[in-house]
């Protein structure tokens, strides 16, 4: 790791990649972390010079990052692509009523209750979507795990275990379905080759629009701040 001088200073992590043929920079929409990937045999001095030359781009990317928004009563929250106002109310369970998400109990605990509700809804939708797409290619999902991931929306292992960010439940339903189709496609192609994208196209025609939505709007979902655990099995 090295640092570009300020103001403000910027820390940059170096990551060697055997497949990299050139230097590339990435700014995480979730955390603002800056990573510079470089070929295995490249010199760090060259990587640092590349980063300094791209300082303007890095600072512009950081300036465009969504402002973190803490979830609480009175705030707006996206749910399945629809903006809902969070409102305290009676009852035992969080529920959606029209344009409202009604949250019973202590308002100080609202964020934790809302995140628990979102995780349940995300699990139900993602399990159903994963099973649906897996059935279309004659495969079976072995496990679905939800996490609050910062670097990816989903992943797939060789034995059919899928992991997703539960924050996908805040995105429009077709975006969630696209991510499920994308990860299920990895059951046939554990790569991002042309063959892989052909499988995605077969499972979810027109996936490009949903992928673009995630690239454009995903950072705003990651910017929502909850009191929550990292993992839901």
Q: Which of these ranges, 5-14, 27-36, 127-136, has the smallest mean pLDDT?
A: 27-36
Rounded Cα distance, 27 and 61, in Å: 7
Q: How confident is the model at residue 37 (pLDDT cuts 50, 70, 90)?
A: very high
Q: Name the nearest CA neighbour of 74 among 122, 24, 111.
A: 111
CA–centroid distance for 7 within its chain: 29
Do 149 and 163 touch, CB atoms closer than 8 A? yes
Rounded Cα distance, 31 and 152, in Å: 12
* Phi, psi dihedrals of residue 174, rounded to the nearest 5°: -65, -30
pLDDT of residue 62: 85
Rounded Cα distance, 127 and 123, in Å: 6
pLDDT at 228 over 60: no
Identify the helix (H) or strand (E) that includes residue 162: strand 161-165
User: How much is the mean pLDDT over the chain?
Assistant: 92
Q: How confident is the model at residue 30 (pLDDT cuts 50, 70, 90)?
A: low
pLDDT of residue 227: 58
Number of residues in the chain? 233
pLDDT of residue 186: 98
pLDDT of residue 219: 87
Q: Name the nearest CA neighbour of 38 among 12, 11, 65, 3.
A: 12
Given CA atoms 198, 199, 200, 203 in this order, what sign does their dihedral have? positive
Give me the domains of the chain, ranges plus CATH numbers.
2-63 (no CATH), 118-232 (3.30.2010.10)
Q: Name the nearest CA neighbour of 187 among 159, 147, 146.
A: 159
Q: Give the count of beta carbons closer than 10 Å to the beta carbon of residue 92.
A: 7
Helices (H) and strands (E) in the chain, counts: 6, 14
* Structure tokens given for 73: 């009563």
Single pTM value for the model: 0.76
Q: What is the percent of the chain where pLDDT is above 70?
A: 95
């Amino acid at each position: 790791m090295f640092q570009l001088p300020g103001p403000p200073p910027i820390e940059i992590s170096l990551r060697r990649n055997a497949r990299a043929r050139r230097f590339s920079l990435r700014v995480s929409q979730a955390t603002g972390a800056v990573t510079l990937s470089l070929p295995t045999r490249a010199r760090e001095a060259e990587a640092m010079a590349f980063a300094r030359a791209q300082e303007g781009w890095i600072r512009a990317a950081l300036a465009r990052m969504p402002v973190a928004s803490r979830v609480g009563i009175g705030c707006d929250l996206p749910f399945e692509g629809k903006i809902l106002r969070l409102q305290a109310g009676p009852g035992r369970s969080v529920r959606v009523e029209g344009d409202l998400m009604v949250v019973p109990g202590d308002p100080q605990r609202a964020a934790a209750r809302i995140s628990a509700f979102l995780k349940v809804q995300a699990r139900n939708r993602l399990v159903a979507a994963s099973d649906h797409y897996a059935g279309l290619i004659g495969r079976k999902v072995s496990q679905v795990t939800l996490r609050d991931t910062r670097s990816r929306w989903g992943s797939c292992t060789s034995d059919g275990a899928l992991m997703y960010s539960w924050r996908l439940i805040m995105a429009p339903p077709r975006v969630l379905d696209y991510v499920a189709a994308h990860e299920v496609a990895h059951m046939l192609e554990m790569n991002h080759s042309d063959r892989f994208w052909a499988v995605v196209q077969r499972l979810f025609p027109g996936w490009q629009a949903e992928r673009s939505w995630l690239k454009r709007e995903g950072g705003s979902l990651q910017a929502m701040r909850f009191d929550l655990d990292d993992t839901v099995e």
